Amino acid sequence: MKSRRSFIGKSALLAGAALLGKSFQVNGQPAEAPVPLPSLKGRKVMFLFGGWDGHEPTKFRDYMVPWMENEGATVSVYDNLDPYTDKQLMANTDLIVQIFTMSQITQEQEKGLLEAVKNGTGMAGWHGGMCDAFRNNTEYQFMTGGQWVAHPGGVIDYSVQVTDQMDAITSGLSDFNISSEQYYMHVDPNVKVLATTTFSGEHSPWIDGCVMPVTWKKMYGKGRIFYTSLGHNLSHVLMSPNGMTMIKRGIQWASDSKYGPAENWVRPIYKG
């Protein structure tokens, strides 16, 4: 009984640390708590928007850019991908936020983007604006960690499960419901998954019960990558505040790519 009570006590303290972001001790030892998110103050951010209008790139620009500026970032806004070819500009950029669904990228543009991220520039994005942007470019997909392939049923009601309460991006966030596109994706097995969703099989019976990552973070070279499949429309994530909170926190985390320590993890799904 004593060991069971001890276990319950430790679990409660760890849960409190996750929810409150404070330091606790268990048996005199500090319990692990989420690393505080960095500020956007002083960060140089590149916001690129365009591609398919159905994902509302202009509305997201008008919402996200003022928020980042209010947080202290200097934001340069572009409606094309040509900045990716400017080596000096890319080297001086702390964070790239891109929404360019179903678009094409030139070889020179892709090379500039990949090189900058490998060297430490962070990247953050959501939905098809990041992981359904350049369907023919597999190295780009290797960088982002996933590629959209389907959204059975279109806009539907579904739930999102927060699976990592010890990460600062999702700390204190509870599971939530959302009405939007439930993305079925091909996902890199070595991303750090922060939230998932489970398919019901109502629209595609053969995937009934499939658990799919919704939000993740990863590294590409020295660059931090944040992605969430939420965000088909701006109103969808604004009506589900936990979703917008994840996006904003992910942007903060990725913006520290050049300044914070690299986060290394290898979580192979398939055992050798």
Mean pLDDT of 116-143: 97
Structure confidence at residue 79 (pLDDT): 98
Q: What is the pTM of this model?
A: 0.86
265, pLDDT greater than 90: no
Mean pLDDT of all residues belonging to the chain: 88
Distance of CA 75 to CAs 44, 48, 72, 127, 264, Å? Answer: 6, 10, 9, 21, 28
CA distance 79 to 81: 7
Q: For 44-255, CATH number?
A: 3.40.50.880
pLDDT, one tens digit per residue, over 86-124 is 999 999 999 999 999 999 999 999 999 999 999 999 999
Structure confidence at residue 5 (pLDDT): 37
Torsion of CA 169, 170, 172, 178, to 10 degrees: 130
Residue 92 vs residue 34, higher pLDDT: 92
% pLDDT > 90, the chain: 81
* Residues in contact with 95: Cβ distance below 8 Å, sequence separation at least 6, in sequence order: 43, 44, 45, 46, 73, 121, 122, 123, 124, 251, 254, 255, 257
* Domain locations in the chain as residue ranges: 2-31, 44-255
